[in-house]
Amino acid sequence: MKEYLKASSLDEALNLLSKDSQLKVLAGGTDLMVQKHAGSLSDVRFLDINALPSLKNINEKDWGIAIGALTTYRQILNSDLVLAEFPLLAQAARETASVAIQNRGTLGGNIVNASPAGDSLPVLLVYNALLELQTQKEKRNIAYTDFHQGYKKMDLRSGELLTQILLPKGNTWDRSYFKKVGTRKAQSISKVVMAALLKMNGETIEDVRIALGSIAAFPLRCRFLEDFLKGQQLPLLKREELDRLIEQNICPMDDIRSTKEYRLQIVKNLVWDFLKA
């Protein structure tokens, strides 16, 4: 059997996946050499889907926008539609790696690569993204918040391909926030990345969404913080109380890029900066 196959259409790709569920789908391929160097690509058979134009579009719908899984970061950050409706996604794309990777890397690849440090992933959480997953026989949509189930573990069934990311239009937000903390200002893998949205009613927090990346085995939606903050008077919030709540509910990972103590302090700082800026 060939170690490399290239699909010329979505139907062909789904047909090949239905016959060989062990095929590893290749999109932009920006993480390929990293995985090869780590020794995780031995005896892998690739299915290259990069030539499928139907998965490279950003389309406006009545309910929101549909982003093809092969849409690149460069397409996203150059999209007036994304910038107007989902500005945090454009900002995350702009801060992802280098121009070369932005030209090649895809949003779908970032999702299915399932790195805890993916810059766009907390953004998808706060925007309540849906994922369209397709096999040769059927199509299903799932909430992105349910997709990652552990480190590199996903709700991706045999023969299934991520085809679209669906972003529903929501309420108007008074504040959008995206912050990436890394070793350098450019081409840095995140030590912590945070995305958040805030809606106010006078001085009362009416709605809030907060998500973190590079903290655990997969990106986290901070429901405990959201539940606590809704209905609170913003000027009366006390940092000490928020810090204790974060300490009780988040236990960051230790890895080669950072310590759990550093990550925990950064989360506290970012949450407070978001609320008080």
> Average of pLDDT values for 162-183?
91
pLDDT at 39: 63
* pLDDT at residue 256 tops 80: no
| AA identity, residue 268 | K
pLDDT at 38: 62
Provide the b/e sequence for 37-67 (b: ≥16 CB within 10 Å): eeeeeeeeebbbbbebeebbebeeeeebbbb
Q: How far is CA 13 from each of CA 27, 32, 84, rounded to the nearest angstrom?
A: 12, 19, 33
pLDDT at 1: 47
DSSP code, position 163 = E
pLDDT at 187: 56
pLDDT at 184: 54
Q: What is the mean pLDDT of the chain?
A: 91
Lookup result for tokens 């569920």: 21
Domains and CATH numbers, the chain: 175-276 (3.30.390.50)
Other beta carbons less than 10 A from residue 15's beta carbon: 13
Lowest mean pLDDT among 74-78, 112-116, 117-121, 179-183: 179-183
* pLDDT at residue 188 tops 70: no
* pLDDT at residue 130 tops 90: yes
pLDDT bracket for residue 34 (50, 70, 90) = low
The strands making up 46-48's β-sheet, listed across from edge to edge, are 4-6, 46-48, 24-26
